[in-house]
Amino acid sequence: MEPDKAHSKSGDVEAVKFNEDVSTMRPRSSTQVRHIAILLLGIVLLVSFGPSSFIRRGRSAVYSYPPITRDVRPPFESFTVADIGTVHWWNCTGPLDSPGTECGYIIVPLDYFNQSAGVAQIALGKYKAKTVPSKGFVFFNPGGPGVPGKLSATFMGPLLQTFIGPDYDIIGFDPRGIAETLPKTECFPSAQDYIEFKAHTVLERGYDVSPNLTNPNREHLLRTQRELDVLTEAQSAICKKNMGDILRYMGTSTVVRDIDFMATAFGGDDALINFYGASYGTILGQYLVNMLPDRIGRVVIDGVADAVAWSSEPYYKWYREWLSSTEDTYRAFASECAKAGPEYCALAEADGEDGAVIMRRVEDFIDGLYFRPMAVPGADQPGMLTYGLVRRHLLEMLYAPSQWPRVAEDFAHAIHGNGTALLNAAQLVTVYFNDLARSAVSCSDNMPFTPPRPEDVVDELLSVTKEVSRFAFATVTAEPDAGCQYWSAEPPERFDGPWNHTLSNRILIVSNTADPITPIVSGRLVNSLLPHSSRLLVQDSPGHCSLNMPSLCTAKYMQAYFKDGTLPPEGTVCKPDVAPFEVPGRRLALSDSDQEMLDKLRELERAFVTVKNLRY
């Protein structure tokens, strides 16, 4: 195959590409892909742009990035397999983009095992290193599945350097089917169509669970479960009708192939892959290091989910592990509120009040909604507060301790008879439009399983409710992965292990002691599967991922790891440097440099919450 120089379809913006026969790729090795890619890319760019476009790495001449152009993009439909490898960058100009960031895309094979399937366009964002030369690049994934990675880099890039350091370009990308990557998941024609589909159903209101767990009104829960099954079956049928075969290409295994492809395009055949993943990004990270163990450079996974269960068990079997730290988080919410007192936490009614009293106050209110929902005529969307809606909202709010003062205020108003703020907040989370991008990922990853009976699901969730956490039923709609038994799209590749490969470099695992949805037991599991290829760093704090509770200790260990691979000593535990309820006078005396770093970490935490709440 002859290398060539390509021009964009618009005719006035030059982009570069390399071609390869993707039909020869194999699932367990990308060696052939990388050799062909870098050889052709090197020839193309040497001819096109001259020697100054290259950097030297070992014996290979490796091109880093194509030049910046203005944003003139051809329509996606005009790209063909001949355009595979085309990369285009321009200066970002979006309202949330940081100055100096770059936006772009790369054209990749839609199917790495079938060249005739067509192409995908992966949306990219980049925040450049401050050192010259840089140490390369770090791919960042903020989680979901469904959170935009491109915007994470262009919005959060300067702040992410607080963890990653100034030596790397930070590259965010929107994984398959998500945000600006094309083709995207578009099962419903519009956000309004999906909102109307979910309205007043279990998908919106959640499960109403009797406070009396010795007599939990099982028949009511079975009816609700049958409703959920029918709705998720309908969703799957709608996706199949409107998207057809495209749904096959949204799984995590395919995203790993994209990372492999991009790493070769940007760094060359011998470039190691550096990666930082949070939440679902830790599942992507586990797939990455086990699918490509010899290509791993610096990898951090933060807020660890269990990829083994994710890939091999139906959704309702996950929650026993997922929720193993949730009650600890809830108790931390109540105890921190009590510690702050009524001046700084609206749920506290007296100084020195016990956290258990505050928790009981919240629980009495939520339990009361099971018997008598609260009318809320003054909300932005007038309606009612129900047990299921409020329980789910509280679970979602436990993720971000910085939001706890507002959560406490909303609940306090509702407890005293005004549910407007609480319903507005719950609806803000409930009505976002992300189509079914998450299902497209999780159902592609999930091994096919026999459809469970509603009785099996309800009884397992009741067991988890009694033995592990009261938030079991809330998790079904807060983390929408139900219904994969109806998903008809079969991915071209579904990785199911092994999960214990020996890696070319050791990875860093970060877990909070009280993470409400990705518990420390999952971090310990990954560490046990990779005993000689990983190190576990524990942060003694509540919240989802270390990003949600800034810690100078954690940040400095991460910086050291990305700088030269230095790992924290075995058994290291870091403390946070902030409190969920800020009380004046409690701040530690810090050096100027540490205070500056902590200020940036707090900005990063706020930005992380913002990005996690964005949906396309």
Residue 37 pLDDT exceeds 90: no
Q: What is the rounded average pLDDT for all residues in the chain?
A: 88
> What does pTM read for this prediction?
0.88
Distance, in Å, from the CA atom of 472 to the CA atom of 466, rounded to the nearest integer, reads 9
Residue 195 pLDDT exceeds 70: yes
Q: Which residues contact 358 (CB under 8 A, 6 or more apart)?
A: 334, 337, 338, 347, 348
Residue 145 pLDDT exceeds 70: yes
pLDDT at position 36 is: 34
pLDDT digits (tens, 9 = 90+) for 215-271: 889 999 999 999 999 999 999 999 999 999 999 999 999 999 999 999 999 999 989
pLDDT at position 38 is: 34
Residue 389 pLDDT exceeds 90: yes
Residue 297 near residue 268, CB atoms below 8 Å: no
pLDDT at position 251 is: 96
Q: Look at residues 155, 196, 194, 197 and name the one whose alpha carbon lies nearest to residue 172.
A: 155
H or E element in which residue 276 lies:
strand 273-278
pLDDT at position 301 is: 98
For residue 520, the one-letter residue type is I
| pLDDT above 70 as % of the chain | 87
Tell me, what DSSP letter sits at residue 484? G
pLDDT digits (tens, 9 = 90+) for 554-594: 999 999 999 999 999 999 999 999 999 988 877 778 999 99
Give the CB-side neighbour count of residue 92, counting CA atoms within 13 A.
25
Helix (H, G, I), strand (E, B), or coil: what is residue 93?
coil
Higher pLDDT, 290 or 15: 290
Helix (H, G, I), strand (E, B), or coil: what is residue 403?
helix
Buried b / exposed e over 26-38, threshold 16 CB at 10 Å, is eeeebeebbebbb
Residue 322 pLDDT exceeds 60: yes
Q: What is the mean pLDDT of residues 393-404?
A: 96
Buried b / exposed e over 488-525, threshold 16 CB at 10 Å, is ebebbbbbeeebebebebbbbbbbbbbbbbbbbebbeb
- CA dist 79 to 173, 234, 395, Å? 19, 33, 43
Residue 476 pLDDT exceeds 90: yes
pLDDT digits (tens, 9 = 90+) for 446-461: 999 999 999 999 999 9
Could you list the beta-strand ranges (E) of 477-599: 507-514, 534-542, 573-574
Give the CB-side neighbour count of residue 558, counting CA atoms within 13 A.
31
Q: What is the mean pLDDT of residues 416-426?
A: 96
pLDDT at position 13 is: 38
Higher pLDDT, 553 or 585: 553
Q: Look at residues 235, 232, 251, 254 and name the one whose alpha carbon lies nearest to residue 243.
A: 235
Residue 125 pLDDT exceeds 60: yes
Q: Which residues contact 539 (CB under 8 A, 6 or more apart)?
A: 510, 511, 512, 513, 546, 549, 551, 553, 554, 573, 574, 575, 576
Where in the chain are all domains bearing CATH 3.40.50.1820? 68-184+262-318+504-616
Identify the weakest region by mean pLDDT among 60-69, 288-297, 528-537, 543-552.
Answer: 60-69
68-184+262-318+504-616 CATH? 3.40.50.1820
Identify the weakest region by mean pLDDT among 187-196, 368-377, 438-447.
Answer: 187-196
pLDDT at position 64 is: 54
Helix (H, G, I), strand (E, B), or coil: what is residue 213?
coil
φ, ψ of residue 236 to 5 degrees: the values are: -65, -40
